[in-house]
Amino acid sequence: MNPSEKFQPDFELLFNAIPGNYLILLPDAPNYTIIAVSDAYARVTMNTREHMLGRKLFEVFPDNPDDPEATGVRNLTASLQHVIHFHEPHKMDIQKYDIPYPDGHGFEERYWRPLNTPVMKDDNVLYIIHQVDDVTDRVRTKAKLETQTEILKRTNAELEQFVRISSHDLQEPLRKIRTFAGLLKATSSNSLGESASMQIDKICTSAERMSDRLRDLLQYAFLQKKELFMETDLNEVYWSVHEDLELLIAEKNAQMKAEGLPVIQGVKHQLHQLFYNLIFNALQYARPGVPPRITITVNDIIGEDEAENYHEIIVADNGVGFAQQHAEKIFTVFERLQKDSDTKGTGIGLAICKKVAQNHGGKIFAVSSPGMGAQFHVLLPIAPASSTVKTLTSFGENTV
């Protein structure tokens, strides 16, 4: 026996068992007679090899008569004709092609990604290999997600409108409370006792605090929206924040230092909020009688993958600090550790910082101990093809 004959594989057995959905068709248009069927193809189409072999392709798999928009037969015919005419494979887009139930009663909605490949000999197409991937579950999942996304968009739009209206409706009575309380104090200052005057001041202060909270809560709510990322120079962001806070910086006699701030891909006004709240927080929580000393430095963290590369921006101060056990708690909306102090703030600033960092694919965490100041570490992704880092360094009273 010839050694090659001894090890001749059973190709029919191999084809039937191949882990894929395959048919072998004759190029006898318009019949496209089925001459081989893989086990996987028979299973995925709820059919049997015996029922398909020797029959016309579209006799076994006709269009669904209950679907007036069915295009399966037309599209597959066009692909098979392409293969025969051009002697080249043809990959089809995802097709809706319903499959008849085995009992002949009705069709099941199915989606496929077909590939038709010619088998050539002497420049003639002898056979066509028809391969399909069943992508029904993927298409249905995508459609479900698109529906849920659309519902979520509508819900968010309604919620956005509700927040805006609610904020406006609540701000108006607060404005009136402050106005009339102020008028009462101004016009009746001579007849009011010290106790009544202090109570009016508390009314005005409480109304102003509530107004600030509503404003910051509205600001926090709209950080949920996706916005276009653009090349953003954090030096420019820092200068803008410094200008906004220059009166408070002067009042606190603060010393500030910033160096190595990079250019990143981001949303400029959100990054402004990030820096504003971190620096404002450091100024507000200064130790009594000690000028705030705030430094901003940058380290680059390089991971194994480009997606793991981050700028680590560290905002450090010499303020009152806090116990490390509260390091997560401080990023919660309306959470303030200094509840009984006269320190201004709404308890939303650090929550905004966390949301901005997350919106930029980053994170934020804090390291501190009581009386030893605090360090806020902000990790922001390094832009691909790393942007140029601009260095700005100076140190001194009320300077950057």
75-102 pLDDT tens trace: 999 999 999 999 999 999 999 999 999 8
Domains: count for the chain: 3
Confidence of residue 1 (pLDDT cuts 50, 70, 90): low
- 28 and 147 both lie in a single domain: no
The first and second tokens of residue 152, run together, are 């979520």
- Smallest CA-to-CA distance from 352 within 280, 294, 283 is with 280
Give the DSSP H/E element, type plus range, for residue 164: helix 136-187
Q: What is the mean pLDDT of residues 240-258?
A: 91
Can you give the residue range of the structural domain that contains 167? 136-225
pLDDT digits (tens, 9 = 90+) for 191-222: 777 788 888 888 887 887 777 777 766 766 66
Confidence of residue 386 (pLDDT cuts 50, 70, 90): very low
Q: CATH no. for residue 76? A: 3.30.450.20
| pLDDT at residue 348, as a whole number | 80
* Amino acid (1-letter code) at residue 271: L
> Please, what is the average pLDDT of the chain?
85
* Least confident interval from 148-162, 320-334, 354-368: 148-162
Share of the chain above pLDDT 90, in %: 55
- 386 and 289 both lie in a single domain: yes
Give the DSSP H/E element, type plus range, for residue 313: strand 310-316
pLDDT digits (tens, 9 = 90+) for 11-52: 889 888 888 999 999 999 999 999 999 999 999 999 999 999
Residue 372 clears pLDDT 70, i.e. is over it: yes
- 223-232, 250-259, 342-351: range with highest mean pLDDT: 250-259
Confidence of residue 118 (pLDDT cuts 50, 70, 90): very high
Instruction: Encode burial over 285-321: b for 16+ CB neighbours within 10 A, e otherwise.
Output: bbeeeeebbbbbbbeeeeeeeeeebbbebebbbbbbb
| pLDDT at residue 290, as a whole number | 92
- 266 and 390 both lie in a single domain: yes
Instruction: Encode burial over 187-204: b for 16+ CB neighbours within 10 A, e otherwise.
Output: eeeeeeeeeeeeebeebb
pLDDT digits (tens, 9 = 90+) for 333-359: 765 555 544 555 556 889 889 989 998
| pLDDT at residue 338, as a whole number | 57
The first and second tokens of residue 85, run together, are 């005419």
Strands 34-37 and 21-25: antiparallel
| pLDDT at residue 158, as a whole number | 78
- 151 and 248 both lie in a single domain: no
The first and second tokens of residue 10, run together, are 């059973």
Residue 179 clears pLDDT 70, i.e. is over it: yes
- 182 and 289 both lie in a single domain: no
Confidence of residue 154 (pLDDT cuts 50, 70, 90): confident
- 243 and 211 both lie in a single domain: no
CA distance 192 to 203: 15
Residue that is last in its domain, among 92, 116, 134: 134
- 280 and 312 both lie in a single domain: yes
Confidence of residue 107 (pLDDT cuts 50, 70, 90): very high
CA distance 57 to 23: 10
Q: CATH no. for residue 208? A: 1.10.287
CA distance 281 to 200: 28
Residue 225 clears pLDDT 70, i.e. is over it: no
Residue 242 clears pLDDT 60, i.e. is over it: yes
